[in-house]
Amino acid sequence: MLEFDLVARIRQRAGSREDVILGIGDDCALLSPPPGMQLAVTTDTLNRGVHFPAETAPFDIGWKALAVNLSDLAAMGARPAWCTLSLSLSLPEATPGFVDGFLDGFLSLAQRHEVALVGGDTTRGPLSIGVTACGFIEPGMALRRDGTTVGDEVWVSGTLGDAAGALAQWHAKTGIEASLRERLDRPQPRVTLGRALRGIATACIDVSDGLLADLGHICKASGVAALLEVDALPASTSLQAAADLEKRRILQATGGDDYELCFTAPARARAEVLAAAQACATQVTRIGCIRAGNGVDAVCAQGRPWRPQNAGYEHFGLG
Amino acid sequence: MLEFDLVARIRQRAGSREDVILGIGDDCALLSPPPGMQLAVTTDTLNRGVHFPAETAPFDIGWKALAVNLSDLAAMGARPAWCTLSLSLSLPEATPGFVDGFLDGFLSLAQRHEVALVGGDTTRGPLSIGVTACGFIEPGMALRRDGTTVGDEVWVSGTLGDAAGALAQWHAKTGIEASLRERLDRPQPRVTLGRALRGIATACIDVSDGLLADLGHICKASGVAALLEVDALPASTSLQAAADLEKRRILQATGGDDYELCFTAPARARAEVLAAAQACATQVTRIGCIRAGNGVDAVCAQGRPWRPQNAGYEHFGLG
C-alpha cells in the first residue's frame, strides 16, 4: 500500500463545495473565499498514546482529529468551510481497514458541518494526524480571548468532566461507562452555539486543556481575573454516578477534552445568552464572574476557596 | 519545558503582515485575504528518518519543512502569505537549543518570502513537522497539472539529481559533497519563477518524488503522454563529478527532493519562457515534449529507449 493508493482513497471521499475550485490532487488546493469575510485558521495534531488511548477505534480517531479543530473554529464564532489532513501511518495502522474506518469518522463529522477536505498528505511514521481547518467570520465579529472586562459573567456550555471521567476510568482499568467514553471519543464541536454567540459573548475559548487553564487563558489575554464557582459546574448524570463530590470537582475544573465553550458576557446580556443557547438547543450555565486582578480563583458552594489537589491535565506536557 | 513555553517561544518570533488580524495565541488566527484572489493551500509533513536523515541539523529541518510547502505554492504560481506549524517533539529534540535552531531555519526562509507564521500547535511525540501554507493567486491563473496538450514542450528549472546524489552518498557512508548536501538540506522553492510563468506555462509541478513520477502526474492529469530526453537533463558540476553517466541518469530522472519546477509550454512560447526565467535569474532547460497517449517514455541522446534500473524514489513508501 503506497502513498498514492492512500491519497486516491482519501480523494475519492473528500466531498466538495462550490467554493472549492480545485481539491486534492494538485500541488495545492484552490479556494475561493467569500468576499468581505475574514478567515479563521487553526491547526491541531493528535498523536497516538498522547491525545487518545492506543486502542481507540479508527472511526473515533478520525472524528476527534477533525472535532478538535472545528471546536477551535466554534470558539471564534467562525463558520467551518475547509480542512486539510496530514496522516502519518505505519503498521499496524497502514491498512485499508484502518484508513476506511478513520475516514468514516473524519468525513461523517465533516459532512455534518459542510466541511470539504481540500488537501491531503500521507507519510510513513508513527500514527499522527495533523488537521488544519479554515472557516469564515465577519470582520470584527470573532469571539477572541482578549475581549472580556470586569463585571462580565462567565458561562460554559453543556456539561464538564465527562471526558476526563472516561480517562480516569481508563487509567483505573475499571471499564469505561459508555456515555463518558462517547464524550471522550466523539466530542461535538459547538459550532452552532459559537455562531449564535457572535455579538453577545465578549470572549470565548473551547475547553480542551481544562476549565481552570482555559479560563486562565481568557483572563491573561484580557488582563483580568476570574472567580469560578466550582460547585456550579454542570455535571452529567453519568459523571455524578461515577465520581464523588471532590473527585468530580477536580475532573470538571481541571479535566480537558470536553470541547465545551467557556465564554463571557455582560450581566445585562443574560437573556440574550439564554435565548441564543435555546435557539441551538444547547444548555449553558453561569459559573462565575470576571473581576480585577489576574488568575482564576475557585470557590465551593460554601464560599470557601477551592484548589485542585492534582497538578492539572497534562496530556500536552512535553519533555 | 511545557507546551506553553514552546508556543511562547514560537509566538515571539512568528513575524506578521498587515493581513494578519490576529496571529498565534487565540483559538484561531484571523486573516484578511485580498479581495478577488483565490487561495492556494498545501500541506506537507516531514518525519525524521523518512524525509530527512536523523542527524540533519535543526536549522535545516526547519528550513526544509517550510521549503517543501512553499515549493507547492511555487508550482501553482501562487504568492506565499501565511503558514501554520504543527510540531511533535520529544527528547532528544524537546530542548530550547533544538527549537531555536529549528525556528532559525524555518523563519529565515519565511522572512525571505514574507510569509507570516499564524498558527502553531506543539505536542509530545516522535519528531514530526507538519506545515500548512497558504498563498494567493488570481482566478484562472493557477499553474495546474491538467493544462498541457499535445505539442507542448517540457521544461525544468535549475539542475536535477543533486539531492538524490547527496542521499546516495549518505547511504554509501562516503561523506557528502557540500553543494549536494546543500541541495538536499536547504531546497530553494522556485517562487519567483512560478509567479513569472503565470500565463505562459500550461502545466506545472514541483519535482519532489522524482522527475519521471512527477511528469507522470502531469501526463495523467492532462490525459497525455510525454517523451523525456534523459541526456538533456541539466546536471550540476558537482553531480557530474560524483556520478558516472548511467548513475547520473537514474539520480536525475528518478531522484526526488530537488524541488525544481517541471512545466510545459507551447513551442511558440519558447521565447517567453526564456525571458521569464531570465527575469528571475533562473536557468531553465527544455527536456522533452508532450504527445498523445499515456505515461512517460525516456530516451537517451542516441534515441534509444531508456528505463531506470531501480524502482524509483521510495521515501514516501508506506507499509
- A172 and chain B: CB distance < 8 Å anywhere? no
**DSSP secondary structure string, B118-132?**
EEEEEEESSSEEEEE
Q: What is the pTM of this model?
A: 0.93
Facing A126 at nearest CB: one of B119, B125, B146: B125
- For cell 529534540, the residue is B93
pLDDT at residue A15 in the model:
80
- Is the pLDDT score of A2 beyond 60? no
In this predicted model, which residue has the larger pLDDT, A13 or A51? A13
pLDDT at residue A3 in the model:
55
The pLDDT confidence band at residue A4, using thresholds 50, 70 and 90, is: low
Q: Do A22 and B144 touch (CB under 8 A)?
A: yes
Q: Do A76 and B30 touch (CB under 8 A)?
A: yes
CB A200 within 8 A of CB A265: yes
Alpha carbon distances (Å) from B164 to A37, A200, A222, B185: 44, 57, 51, 11
Q: What is the pLDDT of residues A183-207, one digit of tens each?
A: 999 999 999 999 999 999 999 999 9
SS3 A238: helix
- For cell 531555519, the residue is B105
- B208 and chain A: CB distance < 8 Å anywhere? no
pLDDT at residue B74 in the model:
98
Selected for mutation to probe chain B from A28, A43, A138 (highest B CB count within 10 Å) is: A28
- What residues in A contact B75, CB-CB < 8 Å? 27-28
Facing A50 at nearest CB: one of B25, B30, B123: B123
Q: Work out the average pLDDT over A59-63.
A: 97
- What residues in B contact A33, CB-CB < 8 Å? 33, 39
d(CA B277, CA B290) in angstroms, rounded, equals: 21
Q: Which residues pair with A228 in a beta bridge?
A: A288, A298
Looking at the complex, report in whole angstroms how far the Cα of residue B26 sits from the nearest Cα belonging to chain A. 6
- The complex scores an ipTM of 0.93
d(CA A242, CA A177) in angstroms, rounded, equals: 8
The pLDDT confidence band at residue A260, using thresholds 50, 70 and 90, is: very high
- For cell 480545485, the residue is A22
Residue B116's identity, in one-letter code, is A
- B57 and chain A: CB distance < 8 Å anywhere? no
Q: Work out the average pLDDT over B81-109.
A: 92
- B119 and chain A: CB distance < 8 Å anywhere? yes
Facing B22 at nearest CB: one of A125, A144, A318: A144
pLDDT at residue A314 in the model:
43
Q: What is the pLDDT of residues B114-136, one digit of tens each?
A: 999 999 888 888 889 999 999 99
Q: Work out the average pLDDT over B279-306.
A: 96
Q: What is the number of CB-based contacts under 8 A between chain A and chain B?
A: 242
* B 220-279 residues with CB < 8 A to A: 221
- B34 and chain A: CB distance < 8 Å anywhere? no
pLDDT at residue B310 in the model:
56
d(CA A23, CA A29) in angstroms, rounded, equals: 5
- Is the pLDDT score of B234 beyond 70? yes
Q: What is the pLDDT of residues B194-228, one digit of tens each?
A: 999 999 999 999 999 999 999 999 999 999 999 99
SS3 A106: helix
Q: Which residues pair with B227 in a beta bridge?
A: B289, B297
The pLDDT confidence band at residue B12, using thresholds 50, 70 and 90, is: confident
- For cell 526565467, the residue is B277
The pLDDT confidence band at residue A80, using thresholds 50, 70 and 90, is: very high
pLDDT > 90: what percent of chain B?
79
- Is the pLDDT score of B288 beyond 80? yes
- Is the pLDDT score of B319 beyond 70? no
Q: What is the pLDDT of residues A267-306, one digit of tens each?
A: 999 999 999 999 999 999 999 999 999 999 999 998 899 9
SS3 A101: helix
Q: What is the pLDDT of residues B145-155, one digit of tens each?
A: 999 999 999 99
Residues 6+ apart with CB under 8 A from A147: A202, A203, A222, A264
